Amino acid sequence: MCNRRRKQISCHFTIALLLLAASCVKNPVTGGRQLALISESQEISIGQASHPEILAEFGLLEDKALQEYFSRIGLELAKISHRPDLPWTFTVLDSPVVNAFAVPGGFIYLTRGILAYMNNEAELAGVLGHEIGHVTARHSVNQISQQQLLGLGVGLGAVLSPTFRQLSDLAEMGLGVFMLKYSRDHERQSDQLGLQYMAQGGYDPAQLSRFFEVFAGMREEEGKAIPNWLSSHPAPPDRIRATAAEAETIKAQSRGREYSTNADALLARLEGLVFGENPREGFVEEGRFVHPDLRFLLDFPQAWKVQNTKSAVVFLEPAGAAALRLTLVPPAEGQSPEAVGEKIGRGQGILLIEGARTVINGNRAFVGRYRVSGQSGDVGILAAFIGYGNNIYQIAGMTADASYRRYAPVFDSCLSSFRRLTDQRLLSVQPNRIQIYRARKGETLRSIAKSRPQIPATVEELALLNRLDPDQALSAGAPVKLVQPGK
Protein backbone atom coordinates (compact mmCIF):
# COMPACT_ATOMS: atom_id res chain seq x y z
CA MET A 1 0.00 0.00 0.00
CA CYS A 2 2.82 2.38 0.92
CA ASN A 3 4.70 1.61 -2.29
CA ARG A 4 1.56 2.22 -4.35
CA ARG A 5 1.03 5.52 -2.57
CA ARG A 6 4.64 6.57 -3.19
CA LYS A 7 4.24 5.69 -6.87
CA GLN A 8 1.06 7.80 -7.07
CA ILE A 9 2.81 10.76 -5.46
CA SER A 10 5.78 10.33 -7.77
CA CYS A 11 3.45 10.19 -10.76
CA HIS A 12 1.58 13.32 -9.69
CA PHE A 13 4.86 15.13 -9.06
CA THR A 14 6.16 14.14 -12.49
CA ILE A 15 2.95 15.39 -14.14
CA ALA A 16 3.23 18.66 -12.23
CA LEU A 17 6.81 19.09 -13.40
CA LEU A 18 5.78 18.41 -16.99
CA LEU A 19 2.97 20.97 -16.71
CA LEU A 20 5.36 23.50 -15.26
CA ALA A 21 7.90 22.88 -18.00
CA ALA A 22 5.24 23.20 -20.70
CA SER A 23 3.92 26.41 -19.11
CA CYS A 24 7.22 28.23 -18.76
CA VAL A 25 7.87 30.97 -21.29
CA LYS A 26 10.58 33.52 -21.87
CA ASN A 27 10.11 36.65 -19.77
CA PRO A 28 10.21 39.74 -22.06
CA VAL A 29 12.25 41.72 -19.52
CA THR A 30 14.72 39.26 -18.00
CA GLY A 31 14.97 36.76 -20.85
CA GLY A 32 14.65 33.96 -18.26
CA ARG A 33 11.98 31.29 -18.10
CA GLN A 34 8.78 32.23 -16.29
CA LEU A 35 5.67 30.33 -15.22
CA ALA A 36 2.78 31.48 -17.44
CA LEU A 37 -0.43 29.48 -17.68
CA ILE A 38 -1.93 32.49 -19.45
CA SER A 39 -0.98 33.27 -23.04
CA GLU A 40 -0.46 36.81 -24.29
CA SER A 41 -3.79 36.71 -26.13
CA GLN A 42 -5.53 35.61 -22.93
CA GLU A 43 -3.71 38.34 -21.02
CA ILE A 44 -5.03 40.94 -23.46
CA SER A 45 -8.54 39.45 -23.21
CA ILE A 46 -8.43 39.86 -19.42
CA GLY A 47 -7.60 43.54 -19.81
CA GLN A 48 -10.23 44.11 -22.49
CA ALA A 49 -12.92 42.45 -20.37
CA SER A 50 -11.92 44.34 -17.22
CA HIS A 51 -11.67 47.80 -18.80
CA PRO A 52 -15.41 48.59 -19.18
CA GLU A 53 -16.10 47.21 -15.71
CA ILE A 54 -13.40 49.43 -14.20
CA LEU A 55 -14.85 52.49 -15.94
CA ALA A 56 -18.39 51.61 -14.81
CA GLU A 57 -17.26 51.18 -11.22
CA PHE A 58 -14.84 54.08 -10.78
CA GLY A 59 -15.68 56.45 -13.61
CA LEU A 60 -13.75 58.08 -16.42
CA LEU A 61 -12.45 61.54 -15.60
CA GLU A 62 -14.41 63.81 -17.94
CA ASP A 63 -11.51 65.92 -19.20
CA LYS A 64 -10.70 65.11 -22.81
CA ALA A 65 -7.59 67.29 -22.95
CA LEU A 66 -6.13 65.73 -19.80
CA GLN A 67 -6.94 62.19 -20.99
CA GLU A 68 -5.23 62.83 -24.34
CA TYR A 69 -2.20 64.35 -22.59
CA PHE A 70 -1.95 61.41 -20.21
CA SER A 71 -2.37 58.85 -22.99
CA ARG A 72 0.27 60.53 -25.17
CA ILE A 73 2.92 60.32 -22.45
CA GLY A 74 1.97 56.73 -21.64
CA LEU A 75 2.11 55.59 -25.26
CA GLU A 76 5.51 57.23 -25.76
CA LEU A 77 6.89 55.25 -22.81
CA ALA A 78 5.14 52.04 -23.89
CA LYS A 79 6.78 52.22 -27.31
CA ILE A 80 10.26 52.05 -25.73
CA SER A 81 9.27 49.32 -23.27
CA HIS A 82 9.98 45.60 -23.62
CA ARG A 83 6.47 44.97 -25.03
CA PRO A 84 5.73 47.82 -27.45
CA ASP A 85 3.17 45.85 -29.48
CA LEU A 86 0.58 45.39 -26.74
CA PRO A 87 -2.69 47.34 -27.23
CA TRP A 88 -1.70 49.85 -24.57
CA THR A 89 -4.50 51.90 -23.03
CA PHE A 90 -3.97 54.73 -20.51
CA THR A 91 -6.88 56.10 -18.49
CA VAL A 92 -7.38 58.63 -15.69
CA LEU A 93 -10.09 57.49 -13.26
CA ASP A 94 -12.39 59.92 -11.50
CA SER A 95 -11.41 58.80 -7.99
CA PRO A 96 -9.91 60.78 -5.10
CA VAL A 97 -7.90 57.78 -3.88
CA VAL A 98 -4.15 58.22 -4.40
CA ASN A 99 -3.21 55.26 -6.57
CA ALA A 100 -2.14 53.88 -9.92
CA PHE A 101 -2.46 50.30 -11.13
CA ALA A 102 -2.05 48.07 -14.15
CA VAL A 103 -4.32 45.37 -15.55
CA PRO A 104 -2.90 42.53 -17.69
CA GLY A 105 -2.64 43.21 -21.40
CA GLY A 106 -1.43 46.81 -21.22
CA PHE A 107 -4.24 48.66 -19.44
CA ILE A 108 -2.83 51.35 -17.14
CA TYR A 109 -4.86 53.51 -14.76
CA LEU A 110 -4.11 56.56 -12.62
CA THR A 111 -6.60 58.28 -10.37
CA ARG A 112 -7.09 62.03 -10.29
CA GLY A 113 -6.14 61.65 -6.63
CA ILE A 114 -2.56 60.68 -7.42
CA LEU A 115 -2.27 63.23 -10.25
CA ALA A 116 -2.94 66.04 -7.77
CA TYR A 117 0.25 65.14 -5.86
CA MET A 118 2.51 65.27 -8.91
CA ASN A 119 4.71 68.33 -9.39
CA ASN A 120 6.02 67.75 -12.90
CA GLU A 121 5.72 65.59 -15.99
CA ALA A 122 8.79 63.54 -15.09
CA GLU A 123 7.06 62.32 -11.92
CA LEU A 124 4.07 61.30 -14.02
CA ALA A 125 6.36 59.47 -16.43
CA GLY A 126 8.05 57.69 -13.53
CA VAL A 127 4.79 56.35 -12.12
CA LEU A 128 3.61 55.37 -15.59
CA GLY A 129 6.93 53.65 -16.24
CA HIS A 130 6.55 51.75 -12.97
CA GLU A 131 3.08 50.48 -13.93
CA ILE A 132 4.22 49.68 -17.47
CA GLY A 133 6.97 47.63 -15.84
CA HIS A 134 4.42 45.47 -14.01
CA VAL A 135 2.89 44.62 -17.39
CA THR A 136 6.12 44.13 -19.35
CA ALA A 137 7.56 41.86 -16.65
CA ARG A 138 4.20 39.99 -16.53
CA HIS A 139 3.96 40.26 -12.76
CA SER A 140 0.19 39.85 -12.58
CA VAL A 141 0.29 37.02 -15.12
CA ASN A 142 2.82 35.23 -12.93
CA GLN A 143 0.63 35.61 -9.85
CA ILE A 144 -2.51 34.48 -11.65
CA SER A 145 -0.64 31.47 -13.02
CA GLN A 146 0.57 30.48 -9.56
CA GLN A 147 -2.97 30.77 -8.18
CA GLN A 148 -4.35 28.68 -11.02
CA LEU A 149 -1.68 26.05 -10.40
CA LEU A 150 -2.82 25.90 -6.79
CA GLY A 151 -6.43 25.64 -7.89
CA LEU A 152 -7.38 29.00 -6.39
CA GLY A 153 -8.49 30.83 -9.52
CA VAL A 154 -8.85 34.55 -10.02
CA GLY A 155 -12.00 36.43 -10.93
CA LEU A 156 -14.98 38.34 -9.69
CA GLY A 157 -15.98 35.68 -7.20
CA ALA A 158 -12.56 35.74 -5.55
CA VAL A 159 -13.08 39.21 -4.09
CA LEU A 160 -16.69 38.79 -2.97
CA SER A 161 -17.75 37.34 0.37
CA PRO A 162 -18.85 33.67 0.13
CA THR A 163 -22.38 34.58 1.23
CA PHE A 164 -23.02 37.68 -0.82
CA ARG A 165 -21.45 36.09 -3.88
CA GLN A 166 -24.72 34.18 -4.25
CA LEU A 167 -26.91 37.27 -4.46
CA SER A 168 -26.62 37.82 -8.22
CA ASP A 169 -27.44 41.34 -9.43
CA LEU A 170 -29.49 42.06 -6.30
CA ALA A 171 -26.54 42.20 -3.93
CA GLU A 172 -23.21 42.10 -5.78
CA MET A 173 -20.88 43.72 -3.28
CA GLY A 174 -18.02 44.88 -5.46
CA LEU A 175 -15.98 44.58 -8.65
CA GLY A 176 -13.25 41.99 -9.07
CA VAL A 177 -10.59 44.21 -10.56
CA PHE A 178 -7.20 42.62 -11.14
CA MET A 179 -5.37 44.95 -8.76
CA LEU A 180 -3.18 42.21 -7.38
CA LYS A 181 -0.90 43.10 -4.52
CA TYR A 182 2.62 42.63 -5.81
CA SER A 183 5.61 41.29 -3.94
CA ARG A 184 8.46 43.53 -2.86
CA ASP A 185 10.65 41.91 -5.51
CA HIS A 186 8.07 42.84 -8.14
CA GLU A 187 8.02 46.39 -6.83
CA ARG A 188 11.82 46.62 -6.98
CA GLN A 189 11.86 45.38 -10.54
CA SER A 190 9.09 47.77 -11.58
CA ASP A 191 10.95 50.65 -9.94
CA GLN A 192 14.04 49.76 -11.99
CA LEU A 193 12.00 49.45 -15.18
CA GLY A 194 10.21 52.71 -14.47
CA LEU A 195 13.56 54.49 -14.10
CA GLN A 196 14.83 52.88 -17.29
CA TYR A 197 11.76 53.79 -19.35
CA MET A 198 11.49 57.38 -18.12
CA ALA A 199 15.19 58.02 -18.70
CA GLN A 200 15.01 56.59 -22.22
CA GLY A 201 12.03 58.87 -22.77
CA GLY A 202 14.13 61.89 -21.80
CA TYR A 203 12.73 62.44 -18.30
CA ASP A 204 14.90 63.09 -15.24
CA PRO A 205 14.98 59.72 -13.43
CA ALA A 206 15.68 61.44 -10.10
CA GLN A 207 12.06 62.60 -10.04
CA LEU A 208 10.70 59.12 -9.29
CA SER A 209 12.34 58.91 -5.86
CA ARG A 210 11.23 62.47 -5.13
CA PHE A 211 7.63 61.55 -5.90
CA PHE A 212 7.85 58.53 -3.60
CA GLU A 213 8.31 61.02 -0.77
CA VAL A 214 4.55 61.64 -1.04
CA PHE A 215 3.84 58.24 0.45
CA ALA A 216 6.11 58.84 3.43
CA GLY A 217 3.47 61.31 4.61
CA MET A 218 0.48 59.05 4.03
CA ARG A 219 -0.98 56.12 5.87
CA GLU A 220 -2.19 52.84 4.47
CA GLU A 221 -5.96 52.61 4.08
CA GLU A 222 -7.79 49.31 4.10
CA GLY A 223 -11.31 48.47 2.99
CA LYS A 224 -11.57 51.10 0.26
CA ALA A 225 -13.21 50.41 -3.10
CA ILE A 226 -9.86 51.36 -4.61
CA PRO A 227 -7.00 50.92 -2.14
CA ASN A 228 -4.38 53.62 -1.97
CA TRP A 229 -0.83 53.11 -3.27
CA LEU A 230 0.49 51.91 0.08
CA SER A 231 -2.16 49.17 0.24
CA SER A 232 -1.60 47.82 -3.27
CA HIS A 233 2.16 48.49 -3.64
CA PRO A 234 4.18 47.04 -0.74
CA ALA A 235 7.18 49.31 -0.36
CA PRO A 236 10.61 47.66 -0.41
CA PRO A 237 12.87 48.88 2.41
CA ASP A 238 14.92 51.94 1.45
CA ARG A 239 12.84 52.43 -1.70
CA ILE A 240 13.51 56.17 -1.90
CA ARG A 241 17.23 55.75 -1.32
CA ALA A 242 17.48 52.85 -3.80
CA THR A 243 15.63 54.63 -6.63
CA ALA A 244 17.62 57.83 -6.01
CA ALA A 245 20.90 55.90 -6.20
CA GLU A 246 19.81 54.07 -9.36
CA ALA A 247 18.82 57.39 -10.94
CA GLU A 248 22.26 58.81 -10.20
CA THR A 249 23.86 55.77 -11.83
CA ILE A 250 21.71 56.18 -14.94
CA LYS A 251 22.58 59.86 -15.22
CA ALA A 252 26.27 59.19 -14.67
CA GLN A 253 26.27 56.62 -17.46
CA SER A 254 24.37 58.88 -19.87
CA ARG A 255 27.46 61.04 -20.49
CA GLY A 256 25.92 64.44 -19.89
CA ARG A 257 22.53 63.85 -21.50
CA GLU A 258 19.98 66.53 -20.65
CA TYR A 259 16.82 65.32 -18.93
CA SER A 260 13.56 67.23 -18.62
CA THR A 261 10.98 67.64 -15.86
CA ASN A 262 8.36 69.74 -17.73
CA ALA A 263 6.76 71.10 -14.56
CA ASP A 264 4.72 73.80 -16.27
CA ALA A 265 3.24 71.34 -18.78
CA LEU A 266 1.79 69.16 -16.00
CA LEU A 267 0.72 71.94 -13.66
CA ALA A 268 -1.27 73.60 -16.44
CA ARG A 269 -3.27 70.37 -16.73
CA LEU A 270 -3.92 70.25 -12.98
CA GLU A 271 -5.46 73.72 -12.76
CA GLY A 272 -9.12 73.23 -11.79
CA LEU A 273 -8.82 69.49 -11.16
CA VAL A 274 -11.31 68.26 -8.56
CA PHE A 275 -9.47 67.54 -5.32
CA GLY A 276 -10.75 65.03 -2.79
CA GLU A 277 -14.28 63.64 -2.75
CA ASN A 278 -16.70 65.16 -5.24
CA PRO A 279 -19.85 66.00 -3.25
CA ARG A 280 -21.87 66.32 -6.47
CA GLU A 281 -21.74 62.51 -6.63
CA GLY A 282 -22.93 61.99 -3.08
CA PHE A 283 -21.74 62.76 0.43
CA VAL A 284 -22.60 62.02 4.04
CA GLU A 285 -23.93 64.64 6.44
CA GLU A 286 -25.40 63.98 9.88
CA GLY A 287 -26.55 60.43 9.22
CA ARG A 288 -27.87 61.21 5.76
CA PHE A 289 -26.56 60.26 2.35
CA VAL A 290 -27.10 63.23 0.04
CA HIS A 291 -26.84 63.16 -3.77
CA PRO A 292 -27.09 66.68 -5.27
CA ASP A 293 -26.86 65.66 -8.92
CA LEU A 294 -29.63 63.06 -8.63
CA ARG A 295 -31.53 65.24 -6.13
CA PHE A 296 -32.32 62.68 -3.43
CA LEU A 297 -31.30 61.83 0.11
CA LEU A 298 -31.88 59.02 2.58
CA ASP A 299 -31.06 58.22 6.20
CA PHE A 300 -28.78 55.42 7.37
CA PRO A 301 -27.44 54.24 10.76
CA GLN A 302 -24.77 56.74 11.81
CA ALA A 303 -22.28 54.13 13.03
CA TRP A 304 -22.30 52.27 9.71
CA LYS A 305 -19.44 52.67 7.24
CA VAL A 306 -20.09 54.09 3.77
CA GLN A 307 -18.51 53.09 0.45
CA ASN A 308 -19.56 55.35 -2.42
CA THR A 309 -18.53 54.31 -5.94
CA LYS A 310 -19.87 55.10 -9.41
CA SER A 311 -22.02 51.97 -9.49
CA ALA A 312 -23.27 51.64 -5.92
CA VAL A 313 -23.38 53.08 -2.43
CA VAL A 314 -22.88 50.47 0.28
CA PHE A 315 -23.57 51.00 3.98
CA LEU A 316 -21.85 48.41 6.18
CA GLU A 317 -22.67 47.51 9.76
CA PRO A 318 -19.43 47.99 11.80
CA ALA A 319 -19.03 44.27 12.55
CA GLY A 320 -19.89 43.28 8.97
CA ALA A 321 -23.08 41.47 10.01
CA ALA A 322 -25.36 43.43 7.68
CA ALA A 323 -25.28 45.80 4.74
CA LEU A 324 -27.45 48.16 2.75
CA ARG A 325 -26.79 48.69 -0.96
CA LEU A 326 -28.16 51.48 -3.13
CA THR A 327 -27.99 51.20 -6.93
CA LEU A 328 -29.71 52.37 -10.08
CA VAL A 329 -31.65 49.64 -11.87
CA PRO A 330 -30.46 49.31 -15.49
CA PRO A 331 -33.08 51.04 -17.65
CA ALA A 332 -35.56 48.97 -19.66
CA GLU A 333 -38.53 50.23 -21.62
CA GLY A 334 -41.85 49.99 -19.80
CA GLN A 335 -40.53 48.45 -16.59
CA SER A 336 -42.07 49.39 -13.26
CA PRO A 337 -40.79 49.02 -9.67
CA GLU A 338 -43.16 46.08 -9.22
CA ALA A 339 -41.97 44.35 -12.40
CA VAL A 340 -38.33 44.73 -11.35
CA GLY A 341 -38.92 43.39 -7.86
CA GLU A 342 -40.92 40.40 -9.07
CA LYS A 343 -38.39 39.57 -11.80
CA ILE A 344 -35.56 39.43 -9.27
CA GLY A 345 -37.70 37.11 -7.14
CA ARG A 346 -37.70 34.63 -10.02
CA GLY A 347 -33.90 34.49 -10.15
CA GLN A 348 -32.04 31.26 -9.49
CA GLY A 349 -31.68 30.60 -5.78
CA ILE A 350 -33.80 33.66 -4.88
CA LEU A 351 -37.21 33.37 -3.25
CA LEU A 352 -39.65 36.29 -3.02
CA ILE A 353 -41.34 35.56 0.31
CA GLU A 354 -43.69 38.54 0.18
CA GLY A 355 -43.97 41.81 -1.66
CA ALA A 356 -46.38 44.63 -2.41
CA ARG A 357 -46.72 47.90 -4.29
CA THR A 358 -46.52 50.96 -2.07
CA VAL A 359 -45.67 54.66 -2.05
CA ILE A 360 -42.49 55.99 -0.41
CA ASN A 361 -42.57 59.74 0.20
CA GLY A 362 -44.71 60.31 -2.87
CA ASN A 363 -42.77 57.91 -5.11
CA ARG A 364 -44.23 54.71 -6.56
CA ALA A 365 -42.42 51.71 -5.15
CA PHE A 366 -42.36 47.97 -4.59
CA VAL A 367 -41.03 46.50 -1.35
CA GLY A 368 -40.20 42.81 -1.11
CA ARG A 369 -38.72 40.37 1.34
CA TYR A 370 -36.38 37.82 -0.22
CA ARG A 371 -34.40 34.79 0.82
CA VAL A 372 -31.29 33.81 -1.11
CA SER A 373 -29.78 30.33 -0.77
CA GLY A 374 -26.02 30.14 -0.62
CA GLN A 375 -23.26 27.70 0.22
CA SER A 376 -22.58 29.54 3.48
CA GLY A 377 -26.24 29.67 4.50
CA ASP A 378 -29.36 31.59 3.58
CA VAL A 379 -29.41 35.37 3.33
CA GLY A 380 -32.41 37.49 4.28
CA ILE A 381 -33.06 40.61 2.19
CA LEU A 382 -35.50 43.50 2.42
CA ALA A 383 -35.43 45.48 -0.82
CA ALA A 384 -37.27 48.52 -2.14
CA PHE A 385 -37.54 49.47 -5.80
CA ILE A 386 -38.43 53.15 -6.05
CA GLY A 387 -39.47 55.07 -9.14
CA TYR A 388 -38.01 58.56 -8.90
CA GLY A 389 -37.63 60.92 -11.83
CA ASN A 390 -36.70 58.82 -14.85
CA ASN A 391 -34.92 56.18 -12.78
CA ILE A 392 -35.71 53.20 -10.60
CA TYR A 393 -33.57 53.00 -7.46
CA GLN A 394 -32.91 49.73 -5.67
CA ILE A 395 -32.15 49.76 -1.93
CA ALA A 396 -31.41 46.31 -0.53
CA GLY A 397 -30.76 45.50 3.11
CA MET A 398 -29.16 42.10 3.63
CA THR A 399 -27.95 39.91 6.45
CA ALA A 400 -27.78 36.23 7.40
CA ASP A 401 -31.31 34.85 7.43
CA ALA A 402 -30.97 34.01 11.14
CA SER A 403 -30.34 37.71 11.87
CA TYR A 404 -33.07 39.07 9.59
CA ARG A 405 -35.57 39.94 12.37
CA ARG A 406 -32.89 41.91 14.19
CA TYR A 407 -31.96 44.07 11.19
CA ALA A 408 -35.32 44.30 9.40
CA PRO A 409 -36.38 47.47 11.29
CA VAL A 410 -33.05 49.10 10.41
CA PHE A 411 -33.50 48.18 6.74
CA ASP A 412 -37.10 49.40 6.71
CA SER A 413 -36.13 52.74 8.26
CA CYS A 414 -33.52 53.36 5.56
CA LEU A 415 -35.78 52.25 2.70
CA SER A 416 -38.63 54.44 3.93
CA SER A 417 -36.42 57.53 4.22
CA PHE A 418 -35.68 57.88 0.49
CA ARG A 419 -36.97 61.31 -0.53
CA ARG A 420 -36.55 64.31 -2.78
CA LEU A 421 -33.71 66.72 -1.99
CA THR A 422 -34.98 70.30 -1.79
CA ASP A 423 -32.45 72.03 0.48
CA GLN A 424 -30.72 74.60 -1.75
CA ARG A 425 -27.61 74.59 0.45
CA LEU A 426 -27.13 70.90 -0.27
CA LEU A 427 -28.19 71.14 -3.90
CA SER A 428 -25.62 73.82 -4.65
CA VAL A 429 -22.58 72.21 -3.00
CA GLN A 430 -19.46 72.12 -5.21
CA PRO A 431 -16.16 70.21 -5.04
CA ASN A 432 -12.81 71.63 -4.00
CA ARG A 433 -10.36 72.14 -6.87
CA ILE A 434 -6.63 72.50 -7.43
CA GLN A 435 -5.45 76.07 -7.97
CA ILE A 436 -1.95 76.94 -9.20
CA TYR A 437 -0.62 80.02 -7.41
CA ARG A 438 2.57 81.84 -8.35
CA ALA A 439 4.45 82.89 -5.21
CA ARG A 440 5.89 86.30 -4.55
CA LYS A 441 9.56 86.41 -3.60
CA GLY A 442 10.10 85.44 0.03
CA GLU A 443 6.61 84.04 0.61
CA THR A 444 6.31 80.71 2.39
CA LEU A 445 3.65 78.07 2.22
CA ARG A 446 2.65 78.95 5.76
CA SER A 447 2.27 82.65 4.97
CA ILE A 448 0.28 81.89 1.83
CA ALA A 449 -2.09 79.61 3.75
CA LYS A 450 -2.45 82.17 6.55
CA SER A 451 -3.50 84.84 4.06
CA ARG A 452 -6.17 82.49 2.70
CA PRO A 453 -8.06 81.15 5.73
CA GLN A 454 -10.83 79.84 3.48
CA ILE A 455 -8.53 77.15 2.02
CA PRO A 456 -10.02 73.74 3.02
CA ALA A 457 -6.62 72.21 3.76
CA THR A 458 -4.11 72.47 6.59
CA VAL A 459 -0.57 73.73 6.11
CA GLU A 460 0.65 70.16 6.61
CA GLU A 461 -1.67 68.90 3.86
CA LEU A 462 -0.50 71.63 1.49
CA ALA A 463 3.11 70.80 2.34
CA LEU A 464 2.53 67.18 1.31
CA LEU A 465 0.65 68.25 -1.80
CA ASN A 466 3.63 70.38 -2.88
CA ARG A 467 6.40 68.54 -1.01
CA LEU A 468 7.61 71.82 0.42
CA ASP A 469 8.76 72.80 3.89
CA PRO A 470 6.01 75.09 5.23
CA ASP A 471 8.59 77.75 6.17
CA GLN A 472 10.76 77.50 3.07
CA ALA A 473 11.22 80.89 1.37
CA LEU A 474 9.96 80.70 -2.19
CA SER A 475 11.38 82.40 -5.25
CA ALA A 476 9.31 84.82 -7.31
CA GLY A 477 6.91 82.96 -9.59
CA ALA A 478 7.42 79.56 -7.93
CA PRO A 479 4.29 77.43 -8.58
CA VAL A 480 2.32 76.34 -5.52
CA LYS A 481 -0.68 74.04 -5.56
CA LEU A 482 -3.48 75.33 -3.36
CA VAL A 483 -6.96 73.96 -2.73
CA GLN A 484 -9.74 76.25 -3.85
CA PRO A 485 -12.93 75.71 -1.83
CA GLY A 486 -16.09 74.70 -3.64
CA LYS A 487 -18.55 77.53 -4.09
SS (H, E, C) the chain: CHHHHHHHHHHHHHHHHHHHHHCEEECCCCCCEEECCCCHHHHHHHHHHHHHHHHHHHCECCCHHHHHHHHHHHHHHHHCCCCCCCCCEEEEECCCCCCEEEECCCEEEEEHHHHCCCCCHHHHHHHHHHHHHHHHCCHHHHHHHHHHHCCCCCCHHHHCCCCHHHHHHHCCCCCCCCCCCCCHHHHHHHHHHHHHHHHHCCECCHHHHHHHHHHHCCCCCCCCCCCCHHHHCCCCCCHHHHHHHHHHHHHHHCCCCCCECCHHHHHHHHCCCEECCCHHHCEEECCEEEECCCCEEEECCCCCEEEECCCCEEEECCCCCEEEEEEECCCCCCCCHHHHHHHHCCCCCEEEEEEEEEEECCEEEEEEEEEECCCCCCEEEEEEEEEECCEEEEEEEEEEHHHHHHHHHHHHHHHHCCEECCCHHHHCCCCEEEEEEECCCCCCHHHHHHCCCCCCCCHHHHHHHHCCCCCCCCCCCCEEEEEECCC
Whole-prediction pTM value? 0.83
Q: Are residues 158 and 60 in the same domain?
A: yes
Residue 12 has pLDDT above 80, yes or no: no
Q: Are residues 436 and 305 in the same domain?
A: no
Residue 19 has pLDDT above 70, yes or no: no
Residue 6 lies in a domain: no
Q: Are residues 396 and 375 in the same domain?
A: yes
Model pLDDT, residue 39: 77
Q: Are residues 239 and 367 in the same domain?
A: no
**Region 171-185 average pLDDT:** 53
Q: Are residues 287 and 395 in the same domain?
A: yes
- For the stretch 394-431, pLDDT in tens is 999 999 999 999 999 999 999 999 999 999 999 999 99
Q: How confident is the model at residue 171 (pLDDT cuts 50, 70, 90)?
A: very low
Q: Are residues 310 and 410 in the same domain?
A: yes
CATH of the domain at 479: 3.10.350
- For the stretch 343-355, pLDDT in tens is 999 988 899 999 9
Residue 10 lies in a domain: no
Residue 11 lies in a domain: no
Q: Are residues 222 and 340 in the same domain?
A: no
Q: How confident is the model at residue 162 (pLDDT cuts 50, 70, 90)?
A: very low
Please give the residue range of the domain that contains residue 220. Answer: 25-270
Q: Are residues 174 and 236 in the same domain?
A: yes
Residue 33 has pLDDT above 80, yes or no: no
Mean predicted lDDT score pLDDT of the chain: 85
Indicate the residue among 241, 270, 299 that finishes a domain. 270
Model pLDDT, residue 164: 33
Residue 206 lies in a domain: yes
Model pLDDT, residue 139: 79
Q: How many domains does the chain have?
A: 3
Q: Are residues 262 and 301 in the same domain?
A: no
**Region 207-211 average pLDDT:** 96
Residue 323 lies in a domain: yes
Indicate the residue among 270, 301, 326 that finishes a domain. 270
Q: Are residues 211 and 99 in the same domain?
A: yes
- For the stretch 278-301, pLDDT in tens is 999 999 999 999 999 999 999 999
Q: Are residues 398 and 464 in the same domain?
A: no
Residue 293 lies in a domain: yes
Model pLDDT, residue 245: 97
Higher model confidence: residue 80 or residue 157?
A: 80
